[in-house]
Structure 1
């Protein structure tokens, strides 16, 4: 009962502050699709194509995760994996992705997750503090 009251107080406080994020079941892939559709209204077709290719590098490892459950550790694990095996060959992990490619994917992911914060789908951007460590 004490925990329920504490949670209620936390939610009430966040609602009052305007920082409450209602629960949802959107996955990273679903959000990336929606975000790309929104961006397509403002960007050239070739730019959207490049964004799509860049984000495809993250989808296999992160796409199935619910957006609200994505952690900085997940992004870090993806980066480490991508720097070792990220270039896919026939759907299987292959050779390392270059630092520039990983940085480009991370930049798009940060941008998409930043928009998710603005839309109150998540409370924090799990990719915001990450940079490559190679």
Structure 2
């Protein structure tokens, strides 16, 4: 290396034998008592001096992240562990699936994962741009690519808030929005009535009535599937939502309603109440009793009569 040259307060700047310039700035001491330094490179001394000046300004403001040797995959795993305490299992599964498009080693530790193996602080917007473009070239939908970007942005944003990175490399990278889809419309009263009548002729009475409830009371599918007979008061004509049935990794799980406001008691319209009473009578007459707590059990339900 060439002779050391130092400007006032700019750290140490050295010209390397390959002609490039290297600068170092001490940013404190590690747990072992040894000094910690940040290193930058450039083609000219002026370029390196400018980079060191920016590092020094960030350091004095307390904004310079600690150069921890953590990879993107390791940080993503920690992020998912924290999210496991905040979101529902099905939501966490979606988060992991979306991140796995960008970080395949989350699903398979042996998978080739260029971004996942990078140090968290080394990721640049160009890396994110190349990754998202690659996903689009593989045929992933714009919506999926946007979801992947959304999750990458979230985990880097948390790293930024904890001062592990100096900036979020995902922030300047955008995904072109898909062409607007045709919007639906609400059914006219006559159309809704016609649909409700058509559901009465549905071959499977469970399916027909389940669809009828969803249309008449505005219930979500997971709420309908989570109904038990104790939730229906067919004398008072009210229905109470207490739980939801969701599919997680191919199996059903009982969950609380999506939000506190989703716990609710609804009046059952008279025509729907008549159908529910007839359905219960059909069920008891066909199977000699209810035999199951579920209003709409599947054929794989172990309590199926």
Tell me if both proteins adopt one fold, taking TM over 0.5 as the criterion.
yes
State TM-score, norm by structure 1.
0.83
Superposed CA RMSD in Å reads 2.0
SS at match of 2:63: coil
Match of 1:99 in 2: 142
Q: Which runs of 5+ in 1 are unaligned?
A: 86-95
Q: Which runs of 5+ in 2 are unaligned?
A: 14-23, 27-51, 104-112, 178-305
Among residues 163, 169, 181, which one is paired with 1:120 in the alignment? 163
State TM-score, norm by structure 2.
0.38
CA shift at 1:79, angstroms?
A: 0.9
Among residues 172, 177, 185, which one is paired with 1:129 in the alignment? 172
Q: Does 1:7 align with 2:25?
A: yes
Among residues 124, 149, 170, which one is paired with 1:71 in the alignment? 124
Among residues 79, 82, 99, which one is paired with 2:135 in the alignment? 82
Among residues 75, 79, 86, which one is paired with 1:42 in the alignment? 86
- Which structure would you say has the larger RCO, counting Cα contacts within 8 Å and 6 or more residues apart? 1
Provide the rounded CA distance (Å) in 2 between the counterparts of 1:61 and 1:13.
Answer: 32
Provide the rounded CA distance (Å) in 1 between the counterparts of 2:83 and 2:92.
Answer: 7
Provide the rounded CA distance (Å) in 2 between the counterparts of 1:61 and 1:54.
Answer: 17
Which protein is bigger by CA-based radius of gyration? 2
The structure where strand makes up a greater share of residues is 2
CA shift at 1:61, angstroms?
A: 4.2
**Mean Cα deviation higher: 14-23 or 37-46:** 14-23
Match of 1:19 in 2: 63
Deviations along 1:21-40, whole A, 9 cap, x unmatched?
11111111000001111111
The structure where helix makes up a greater share of residues is 1
